[in-house]
Structure 1
Amino acid sequence: MTDLVKAIFRKRANRFIVEAELDGEIVRAHLPNTGRCKELLVDGATVYLKPSDNPNRKTKYSLYLVENNGALVAMFSQQANSIVFDAIKEGKIKELLGYSILESEKTIGNSRIDIYLANEDSSNDGSKVIDETYVEVKSVTLIKDGVAQFPDAPTERGRKHLEELISLKKEGIRAVVFFLIEHPNGNSFRPNWENDPKFSQTLNKAYAEGVEILVYKTENTLESIELVGNSLDFSLEK
């Protein structure tokens, strides 16, 4: 990401568009994050924009990083899937080692789960898929007193993903919800009961049903965003 340009955040025009000051000029940039991000996107904050070479785009830039309390925060929430996918591929996540099949996205029911893992058993006459695991990834940027919280805005879609994981687990299939903290100041995790009690209740239900919860964080620089360390602690209490 060496092509990032430094700018000053000015305002959020709508859900997907922000305005920033670049070299004294106001430019519009795509915001690849549907969260509220109110504590991050404040007037005067330093942001880093990625230029686009697509002449058909409505905006010339995308907002990738924002400085907050001395840390670089990753704002491209969809990129969390590929970060976790690459980390699994590179063997960085000990809880998800030992799979021969690794796929991004798998449709189950009415939802697409982010990552699919499995092994192939060829010991019998015909090979068959075994040890299936579905992993749903959530990008987390909201930090309160060092504790990462999700979501920062109500998410019916996120709640439905949890219900799908619960259904999979009831069928005897391993299911994981993976919270990737993309704000370096977050050192543990809890659901955001205040902003979305329904999601928080469903996360508790999922955990009680045997859906696994993994919490990791990223190390962010202007050159790369990478998953680091081991799984962090979490609490499901209010």
Structure 2
Amino acid sequence: MNYKNTIRGIFKDRPNRFIAHVQIGDQLETVHVKNTGRCRELLVPEAEVILEKNDNPARKTKYDLISVNKEGRWINMDSQAPNKAAEEWVAAGNLFPEKVTVRREKTYGNSRFDLYVESGKRKAFIEVKGVTLEENNIVRFPDAPTERGIKHLCELMHAAADGYEAYLLLVIQMKGVKYFEPNRETHPEFGETLKAAADAGVHILAYDCAVTEDSMKICDPIPVRL
């Protein structure tokens, strides 16, 4: 998954969920933040960030904030990136050995899953979650309570019971982490539901990513501790 027209800047502040002020050279720009999550541990004053310049003249902001440097490690925080990277990764044959067809936004029950994968051998639903919360090289999800995340896990359990393959793919938007665990301190119910989903046959997978100034690519599996 690639970006075009990227540039570095220095984060200053974030007036609300949607915009930030970033210093680019001698110019202070108002930029769009491509993640409405809290991200307080990432967007700290004077952090180096990567922006993508948008060529749409109708937009109020001409830059999107996509990545941040945290203690020497680039972390992609674009909330749209995990789905795009996952679609490319699955379509390229990294999850299933046979040739598959990948469709986005497939409805099942009361949910719309990120990916639906089909071949002569399988029918699988995949829900993708991007993970940016890191502490001491341990990554966690969610960074805020997510009833929507619990709903998706319950629907994945129903899909597994109906004979589909069901996957939760945790896309760790950085490299160099030890393992993933649910953020029980922030949302205990999500951790409990994640364990129940695994027990019900939902595959819980976590993969890290190589993040560069203009790309993010899913790379290697990391351990999941439930």
TM-score by length of 1: 0.89
Aligned to 1:13: 15
Aligned to 1:72: 74
Within a 5 Å distance, the mapping from 1:103-118 to structure 2 comes to 103-118=103-118
- Residues in 2 aligned to 1:216 and 1:37: alpha-carbon distance in whole angstroms: 20
Judge conservation of contact 2:157–2:166 (CA < 8 Å) in 1: yes
Give the partner amino acid of 1:146. Answer: N
Within a 5 Å distance, the mapping from 1:42-191 to structure 2 comes to 42-93=44-95, 96-120=96-120, 131-191=122-182
Task: Name the SS of the counterpart of 1:84 in structure 2.
Answer: helix
Could you list the per-position Cα deviations for residues 135-177 of structure 1 after superposition, in whole angstroms to 9, with x for gaps in the alignment? 0000001112211100111111111111110111111211000
- Residues in 2 aligned to 1:184 and 1:178: alpha-carbon distance in whole angstroms: 16
Give the partner amino acid of 1:199. Answer: F
Give the partner amino acid of 1:234. Answer: V
- Residues in 2 aligned to 1:207 and 1:136: alpha-carbon distance in whole angstroms: 14
Deviation at 1:223, TM superposition (A): 3.1
- Residues in 2 aligned to 1:197 and 1:210: alpha-carbon distance in whole angstroms: 21
Judge conservation of contact 2:81–2:216 (CA < 8 Å) in 1: no
- Residues in 1 aligned to 2:19 and 2:214: alpha-carbon distance in whole angstroms: 24
Aligned to 1:214: 205
Task: Name the SS of the counterpart of 1:163 in structure 2.
Answer: helix
Judge conservation of contact 1:137–1:177 (CA < 8 Å) in 2: yes
Judge conservation of contact 1:142–1:183 (CA < 8 Å) in 2: no
Task: Name the SS of the counterpart of 2:39 in structure 1.
Answer: coil
Judge conservation of contact 1:52–1:61 (CA < 8 Å) in 2: yes
Deviation at 1:183, TM superposition (A): 2.1
Judge conservation of contact 1:49–1:61 (CA < 8 Å) in 2: yes
Task: Name the SS of the counterpart of 2:157 in structure 1.
Answer: helix
Judge conservation of contact 1:141–1:182 (CA < 8 Å) in 2: yes
Identity of counterpart residues, as a percentage? 38
Aligned to 1:34: 36
Judge conservation of contact 1:99–1:117 (CA < 8 Å) in 2: no
Judge conservation of contact 2:66–2:77 (CA < 8 Å) in 1: yes
Could you list the per-position Cα deviations for residues 70-118 of structure 1 after superposition, in whole angstroms to 9, with x for gaps in the alignment? 111111121111101111122233xx33243221221112221011111
Task: Name the SS of the counterpart of 2:60 in structure 1.
Answer: coil
Judge conservation of contact 1:29–1:59 (CA < 8 Å) in 2: yes
Structure 1 stretches of at least 4 aligned residues deviating more than 6 Å after TM superposition: none
Aligned to 1:235: 225
Aligned-residue RMSD, C-alpha: 1.4
Q: Which has the greater radius of gyration?
A: 1
Count of residues paired in the alignment: 224
TM-score by length of 2: 0.94
Judge conservation of contact 2:91–2:101 (CA < 8 Å) in 1: no
